[in-house]
Amino acid sequence: MYKIIKTEHLAEKIYLMEVEAPRTSAACQPGQFLIVKIDGPGERIPLTICDYDRARGTVTIVFQAVGASTMRMSRSKAGDHFQDLAGPLGNPSEFIGEDLESLRRKKLLFVAGGVGAAPVYPQVKWLHEKGIAADVIMGAKTRDMLILEKEMGKVAADLYIATDDGSYGTHGMVTDVLEDLVTVKQKQYDTCIAIGPLVMMKFTALLTKRLGIPTIVSMNPIMVDGTGMCGACRLQVGDQIKFACVDGPEFDGHLVDFDGAIKRQRIYKTEEGRAMLRLTESAPHHGGCGQCGGDR
């Protein structure tokens, strides 16, 4: 059992939890993820590690309540427990193994869309602790949906905000800010790291390819099992087949087949929807129509 030390409601359907997990916190690195399971009937949920405290033996996760299991997780309070927690899993961010002096000479840009701010934060924090500057663009639909702004502001060299509705920061997408920084403000970047929804990463990668900026993306949104056994996160990267959970989660954004990844992600929407209906309406609910055979 893994005790939940702290819970926080960050925004609509977005929650933060600090969990007691000494072995995971002792070994994890930015970019890695873990799997949590709230109880026996609960699903295995892969979540990128948002932060860790080795001295306290805790890890911090941020998740969005979009399915039945994450909705149940959102109801947990400090003092409750996860039945299982496995990690760290996946590979650390590739710059973790780079020579620090070489890394200090690079101009790095992170692009975080929505809940993608959670996996971006530990990477920027790690760089900041090593004396390495990195700019960050954070995007959200509205100001109320923006998370971790204060924390990110403490570790980013320059922080830029974009909201779809213009309620805060730049009115537009993260790609609008990125293009303005490079083409108007003439800022130069050696590498861009983009993390967020698949569509956001796709269009960021298309833009950075045009601008000539090497780009890394995190494909954690398509992970399901997290161990390479289910095949859900099968991914075309250039001329190779990869699995996001065991080969990644980070890949060259200019080689990822985003259209294929988006199609695969949609495959699981029907079952997720049925599980949500069972949770919110009734135990025997099987899809709504009474004719689809979803209860068989």
Q: Domain residues of the chain, as ranges?
A: 2-89, 102-214
| Residue 209 phi, psi dihedral angles, 5° rounding | -65, -40
CB 20 within 8 Å of CB 2: yes
d(CA 280, CA 158): 42
What CATH fold (topology level) applies to the domain 2-89? Elongation Factor Tu (Ef-tu); domain 3 (2.40.30)
CATH for 102-214 (3.40.50.80, 1.10.760.10, 3.40.50.10860, 3.40.50.1820): 3.40.50.80
pLDDT band per the 50, 70, 90 thresholds, residue 276:
very low
Query: Per-residue pLDDT averaged across 113-135, rounded?
Result: 95
Cβ proximity of 120 and 152 under 8 Å: yes
Q: pLDDT tens across 17-41, in order?
A: 999 999 999 999 999 999 998 888 7
Write down the residue that tokens 């620090």 correspond to.
100
Decide the pairing of beta strands 191-195 and 81-82.
unpaired
pTM above 0.75, yes or no: yes
Distance CA 218, CA 115 (A): 12
Instruction: Say yes or no to pLDDT of 294 above 80.
Output: no
Q: What is the pLDDT of residue 290?
A: 43
Q: Kind and range of the H or E element at 121?
A: helix 117-129
Token pair 């049925």 in the structure block, residue:
274
Could you tell me if 90 and 249 are in contact, meaning their C-beta atoms sit under 8 angstroms apart? yes
